[in-house]
């Protein structure tokens, strides 16, 4: 798993619960906790409501 913004990597097959999943162009993109905070509005604005 790699953060879609800063490129931070995490071990394991699934991202930590603090990471945020976004869907861009049909692909799941994960953001680490710090990036998620920075981009919360942008992420939510892009997310299809059905994902929440």
CB of 27 to Zn ion, least distance (A): 17
Residue 6 as a binder of Zn ion (CB under 5 A): the answer is: yes
Q: What's the token pair of residue 15? A: 């991202």
CA 42 to each of CA 11, 12, 50: distance values in angstroms, whole numbers, following the listed order = 26, 27, 16
Nearer to Zn ion, 22 or 51 (CB): 22
Residue 36 as a binder of Zn ion (CB under 5 A): the answer is: no
CA 49 to each of CA 6, 13, 40, 42: distance values in angstroms, whole numbers, following the listed order = 25, 25, 14, 13
Out of 3, 19, 20, 22, the only residue in the binding site for Zn ion (CB under 5 A) is 3
| Footprint on this chain of Zn ion (rule: CB under 5 A) | 3, 5-6, 8, 32, 35
């Amino acid at each position: 798993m790699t953060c879609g913004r800063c490129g931070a990597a995490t071990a394991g097959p699934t991202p930590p619960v603090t990471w945020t999943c976004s869907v861009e162009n049909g692909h799941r993109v994960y953001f680490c906790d710090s990036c998620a905070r920075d981009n919360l509005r942008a992420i939510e604005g892009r997310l299809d409501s059905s994902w929440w």
